[in-house]
Every structure is written in structure tokens, then in C-alpha cells.
Chain A
Amino acid sequence: MTLQLLISGFSLGAVYALIAVGFAIVFSIFKFSNIAHGGMISACAFIGYFFQSSFEEPPPFIVTALFTTGVGVLMALLIDTIAYRNIRKKQAPGLYYFLMSITVAILIEQILSVFFGKNLHTYAPIFSSTTFSIGGLRFSSIDTLIMVISLAILSALIFVINKTKIGLAIRTVAISPSTSQLMGINSSVVIMAVFAIAGALAGISGVLLGTKFSVYPSLGPSMMTKGFIVSVIGGLGSLGGAIVAAIALGVVEIFLTYWLGSLSTPIVLFGIMLLFLTVRPEGISGRFAKDKV
């Protein structure tokens, strides 16, 4: 039983990691908390669902996932254009970025709940049986699939950030946008790349969450809360810390739900977060995002 809980916690943590990384990558560049990420996740979950149900025979899961990822990228670029581009041009303080992201998050949630919120939608099942067993242990097939996909995407992302040229540029802009511009880095391209990555992550996590749970307007924002807890514990803007914290949170949450029930879990999690901030405010990664030196 314990091992099974551990595995389902791991898979939940992998999804949290996808969400938290999409959030952390925007934070590392712009130093603001992109709350709109949660809205994008719900929107992508809905789009994926409608894409899938527009066919008579549901297309393979991979097609839906790829399509939604593409839509997520486009949506992220659109949000950047309507919400952030103008205030970036005016070099407005961070407060306004934050306000815009709240506004976009509520806008998406409201549009979804006014127009599509009346009934619950569920994705077509991917597997014929919900569980499979190896050596006497029963695994949930969807959880395992989610875990494999999340880990694959996260490793690809870590490779892109650490080994490629655009990843180097992203890391440089995260340290100092103006200096990196002096070094010949086109920061507007980097900014678009960051939003595209965040959008792709939102798209894929929307589809995965929609398949695991069902599709409803507050799906993204409610998951986003977990993403926040993860990024606070992991250290704001740190990708590695976010992944470690996400896995830990997933495991802890599954165990807490098993022991205490799903209602008390948010209370205990919040307590843990508050305690953690008191003891180690810089997060697991130890890199503290400072306003200025």
C-alpha cells in the first residue's frame, strides 16, 4: 500500500512540477508571478477536449497533446501581446505585470465558466483498463503515463535551458536584461521564447490534468495554487528547486489525503508552507531572488 501511494504521489508531483516549472520560468525572467498560467491551463484543457470531441473517432492521445501544446504557445504569445507588451514598453513597475496576470486569469476563468461551465466534460479514455500490475503491485495506467510524459518533458526542458544557445540566452536575460542586451542578445526574442515555453507547458499540463481529472473552468487555478506552494518551497524562480519541491509535495499530499481525508489536506499543506517559510525563507534551492543588491 505504501509503495502504491508513493508511486501515485510521484505521478501527482510530476504534474505539479510541469505547472511549477512553467510558472518559474516566467518568474525567473520577469520577476513577477504569472497567475494567468492557471487560466491558460484550464483554457488548454478545454481546447484539447473540444478538439478531441470534434472527431467521430477520438484521435490518438499524442495528436491531441501536440495540438494543444501548439495552441498553448499561440495563446501565451497572444496574452503577451495584449497584456504585457505595452507595459513592458512603458517600463512600468512589477505591480502592473502582476495586476495584468490576475486580470487575464480571471478573464479566462469567467469566459470558460459563462460559456462552457454548465456541464462537466471528460476526455475519452486512453487505456482500455485503468490499472495494470507488475509483480503484485497495481499501477494506475493514466498516472504512469502522466509521470513518464512529465519527466520526459522536464528533462527536455532542462537540456534546452542548460545546453542550447537559446537556453544560455534565457539564463543571461534572467540575470540582467539590460546587460544581456549590451552583449548582443535580442531580448525580445528571448522573452517570446520564454512565453512560448510557458505556453507549451500550460498546454501539455492542461491535457494531462484534463485526462486525469475532468475538465472544468477552475481546474487550472486550483492546480495553480499547488504550483505556488511548490515554487515558494522550491525558491521562487528556480527550476531545479521547483521540481524537487513538486515531487515532495505530490507525495506528501497523497499520504495526507490517505490519512486525513481530502478536506484537511489544504490546511496542513498551508501550515507546512508557513513553517517552511519561517525556517528556510530562501527555499530548497537556496537561491533567493532579490529585488536588488
Chain B
Amino acid sequence: MSNYQLSLIMLACISIITVCGVFAITSLAGMFSLGQASYMAISAYLTFCIARYQNLPVWVTSIIGLAGCALVAFVIGMPTLRLRRDYLALMTIGFGQMVQSIIILLDKYTNAAIGFSKIPKVNNLVYIILAITVLIVFMVRNLKYSRFGRMCIALKNDDIAARSFGIDVHGLRVKIYVIASLIAGVGGICYGLRNRVISPDAFDWSLSAEMQILLFFGGTNSLTGSVISAACLKVLPEFLKGVKLFGIDLQNCKTIIYCLLIIVVINLRTKGLLGERELSLSFLRGLFAGKPRDREGGEST
């Protein structure tokens, strides 16, 4: 395969990883986080800066990067997640701005807005990223069907009822928030390895919002739906390269196209294309046999 195709595959994989992180927090626990891109930035900068200045291999420093991510998520999550869900979204937007400012402030190490480009080259990167993607999707799938995931879904549907069943709501929220940030951190490291340059502008809040849009496009509660929409919608604009409509390059308009698509989808089919269902063999069999199926993952609130 040519380098271009390999880089498209990696793009799709990174998109899948980050959307899996959003799936954990939004679809399972029902909270909106607009700071996922900031966690990508934190882990990427920590990993590659320490690797550069301490001369350590990337796989060692990536552990430090992820640990930093988890620590920050814990500090941010502790006070915020005690409150209404809306606070998290608002706080995380402010958090994103703060992370960008810190990166620019530390320009001695991060090279500020120009971007940090001293990222080591990794051979056979596409296989590594593919393996990580499969692992993450598998882990999030297990999360959804585990006891932990069911507790999260209970929390999403009604946190007061969940509390009355003996679920530690605040602790659970902090845990799922840290997990989601870790997954975003993994995405950030992969992003850095693929692009070989990271700049603070790449991680602003519209990237986090784009992840949310990709998630809801595929289906509110459907992991397979979000994975498919994350991969397809991220790669499709590459085929618009050079296509012109009324003299405007459609490649520049890809986000506009996303947004229009999601407005149409939510208006017509509120729960996203796949809604609550998972695209599995038994679902397809049920579809052709015409049998009604139980809903997985509960109603969303």
C-alpha cells in the first residue's frame, strides 16, 4: 500500500480511538466533555517532550504522559463532577483554553504556536496503531457489557435512582471520566506519532466537539455505529480533495458538511443512524427474520 493509503488508515484509527473515549463518557455515563482534545494535547506533549529532553524511548514516556493525563483528569473531575452535568461541559471548555495557554507559555520546551516537531520516527507504525485501536475498541466494548458499564448506564438514566440502589455516583463519574481521558491520551500519542508535529492550535475545543458530532452521528448508544461513523466521516473528506462546487474547495468545507449532516440526522432520527442498536451478527439475523429485538444499553436520558 502506498504511504498515502497507510496514513488514511491511521487517520481513521486515531479518529476511532478518540471517539471511543467520548463513547465511554457520553454514551455510558451521559456527560458531555469538551476537553477530550486537551487530554490528547497533555499526553502528546508530555510524552514527546520528555522523550526528547531526557532521551528516553517513547514507550516509556508514553506511560508518564498517560499518568499525567489521569492525574489532571482526577484533579479536574473531583470538584466538577459533584455538580450538575452541565458544569462539566462548561468547565472543560475553560480547561481547553488553559491547556493551550500553558503550552504557549512553556515555549522554551514546546516551541509554542510553531509546533513541536522533534518526534521520533517509529517503524511499522500502522500495525501498532491498528493493534492499539482494536484493543481500545475491545476494551470499551467490555466496559459497556460489564457490571461497571451497567452501573454507568443506570447513572446516566437517573442518578438519584442509581444512588438509591447503592451506586457511588460521584466515585463512578470520576472513574469513567479518568478512563475517558486516558483513552483520549492514547489517541493524542498516536496522533503525534502519525503527524510527527503537534501544535496547540490542533487541539482546540472544536476538535473535541467534532468527536461528539461523530459519536452522535453513528448512534447515541451504539459502539459499532460510532466506530463506523468515526472512521467513515473522517476519511471521506479526503476524497473531496480537489472537488469544487461554485468555486469553493469542498475540502475546506468538510466541517460545515459534518454539521449540516448531523443537524439533518438529529432532526429526522434523533438517536443517530444506528440509535441504540449494535451492528452484530445476531442483530443482522434478527433484521432479516423480522423479529423484534430487545434494546441494549437502556434508554438514554
Contact = CB atoms under 8 A, between A and B. Distances in A.
A81 B252 CA distance: 27
Interface stretch (B117-125, B260-268, B277-285): B260-268
A262 B267 CA distance: 42
Nearest to B26: A95
A274 B76 contact: yes
Nearest to A231: B90
Contact of B259 (A110, A228, A278): A110
B7 interface: no
B209 A93 contact: no
B98 A267 contact: yes
Interface string A264-288: 1111011001100110010000000
B97 interface: yes
B interface, how many residues as a size bin? 35 or more
A291 interface: yes
B160 interface: yes
Given A110-B259, A281-B82, A225 B206 contact: no
Interface stretch (A60-68, A84-92, A146-154): A84-92
Contact of A86 (B89, B95, B267): B267
A102 interface: yes
A168 B107 CA distance: 53
Contacts of B191: none
Contacts of B26: 95
A225 B89 CA distance: 11
Interface string B275-301: 000000000000000000000000011
Contacts of B172: none
Interface string A90-123: 1011111011101111110111001000000000
B94 A100 contact: no
Nearest to B82: A281
Given A86-B267, A104-B259, A236-B87, 12 more contacts: A27-B86, A33-B89, A33-B90, A86-B270, A87-B270, A94-B301, A98-B89, A99-B262, A111-B256, A222-B97, A231-B90, A270-B95
Interface of B: 26, 30, 32, 34, 76, 78-80, 82-84, 86-87, 89-91, 93-95, 97-98, 101-102, 104-105, 159-160, 205-206, 209-210, 212-213, 216, 220, 248, 252-253, 255-256, 259-260, 262-263, 266-267, 270, 300-301
